[in-house]
């Protein structure tokens, strides 16, 4: 059963030192640390990191991000090929001092909603007390200076996701259109649909810890606690 869940984005800039001398977006970092910390403090039997990636598969729990693929000046450490989302999720758990069981579950960026929801349902059916760390980002097309430039549809989609989380209406996440999400460079869609499949109880209690797009990419940090 799912006892708790956290949503965090996965920009490379969260990695320590990645932004150079200045650690940009301190509020975002603090919110992610808080969200991960709440998961850890809940003392689950296992934390499952769910993150979008090229293909659906699990990665060894000891896997870590290799930062050198983004910044060659950084030491080449970690696990070659580990998806960014899982690497940053693992990092957030490390930073929160988590030493318990963990699972790193990649969900394919192109998986249809049904596949994501079924994977979530399998996680939710576990006898163990599981916490989910759901890594995913909103649209990278929120502003003129965004990586994907401005798409006028982007804000509405990000708002719909934020609203679904804020009101605990996780079913709404199941309606996210994979094609539109791809067009808007939304990486979080499959991971959010896993979350939606995992928590099937009546409306969970939720809290938004951060919701903004300081670099034109929608970042959402939240806690979702099943009723």
Partner 1 sequence: MSPRQAPQRVLRLGSHAFEPDRLLVMAIVNRTPDSFYRPGVTWDPAAALERVHQVVAEGADIVDIGGVPARPGDDVDAAEEIRRTIPFITAVRDAYPDVVISVDTWRHEVGRQACAAGADLLNDTWGGWDPRLAEVAAQAGAGIVCSHAGRLPPRTRPFRVAYRDVVDDVLNVTLSLASRALEAGVEHDRILIDPAHDFGKNTWHSLQVTRRLAELAATGWPVLVSVSNKDFVGETLDTPVEDRLAGTLAATTICAWLGARVFRAHHVRENRHVLTMVSAVRGDIPPARAVRGLA
Residues lying near partner 1 in the complex (CB under 8 A) are found at: 11-12, 18, 20, 22, 69-74, 80, 84, 140, 146-149, 185
- To partner 1, the closest distance from the beta carbon of 148 in angstroms equals 6
- To partner 1, the closest distance from the beta carbon of 196 in angstroms equals 24
- Our CB check for partner 1 shows the closer of 83 and 197 to be 83
Pick from 52, 55, 85: nearest CA to 190: 52
- Our CB check for partner 1 shows the closer of 148 and 178 to be 148
- Our CB check for partner 1 shows the closer of 68 and 115 to be 68
Give, as one character, the DSSP assignment of residue 202: S
- Our CB check for partner 1 shows the closer of 32 and 47 to be 32
Asked if residue 222 lies in contact with residue 207, where contact means CB atoms within 8 angstroms, the answer is: yes
Put the strands of the sheet holding 130-135 in their side by side order: 57-59, 101-108, 46-53, 130-135, 2-8, 219-225, 205-212
- To partner 1, the closest distance from the beta carbon of 39 in angstroms equals 24
SS3 content of the chain, % helix, strand, coil (to 5): 35, 20, 45
- To partner 1, the closest distance from the beta carbon of 122 in angstroms equals 28
Angle between helices 26-41 and 84-95 (to 10 degrees): 70
- Our CB check for partner 1 shows the closer of 15 and 192 to be 15
- Our CB check for partner 1 shows the closer of 62 and 72 to be 72
- To partner 1, the closest distance from the beta carbon of 108 in angstroms equals 17
Task: Give the span between the Cα atoms of 222 and 210, in whole angstroms.
Answer: 7
- To partner 1, the closest distance from the beta carbon of 12 in angstroms equals 6
3-state SS string for 109-170: CCCCHHHHHHHHHHHHCCCCCEEEEEECCCECCCCCCCCCCCCCCHHHHHHHHHHHHHHCCC
Count each helix (H run) and each strand (E run) in the chain, helices first: 7, 7
């Amino acid at each position: 059963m799912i006892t708790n869940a956290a949503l965090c984005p996965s920009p490379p800039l969260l990695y320590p030192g990645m932004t150079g001398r200045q650690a940009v977006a301190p509020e975002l970092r603090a919110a992610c640390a808080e969200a991960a910390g709440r998961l850890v403090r809940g003392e689950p039997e296992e934390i499952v990191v769910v993150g979008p990636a090229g293909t659906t598969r699990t990665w060894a729990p000891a896997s870590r991000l290799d930062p050198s693929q983004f910044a060659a000046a950084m030491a080449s450490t970690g696990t070659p090929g580990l998806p960014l989302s899982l690497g940053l999720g693992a990092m957030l758990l490390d930073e929160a001092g988590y030493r318990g069981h963990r699972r790193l579950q990649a969900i394919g960026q192109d998986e249809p909603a049904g596949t994501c929801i079924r994977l979530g349902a399998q996680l939710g059916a576990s006898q163990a007390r599981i916490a989910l760390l759901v890594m995913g980002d909103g649209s990278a097309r929120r502003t003129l200076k965004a990586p994907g430039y401005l798409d006028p549809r982007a804000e509405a989609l990000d708002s719909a996701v934020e609203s679904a989380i804020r009101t605990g209406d996780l079913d709404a996440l199941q309606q996210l259109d994979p094609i539109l999400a791809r067009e808007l460079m939304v990486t979080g869609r499959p991971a959010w649909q896993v979350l939606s499949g995992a928590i099937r109880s009546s409306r969970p209690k939720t809290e938004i810890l951060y919701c903004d797009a300081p670099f034109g990419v929608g970042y959402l940090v939240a806690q979702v606690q099943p009723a």
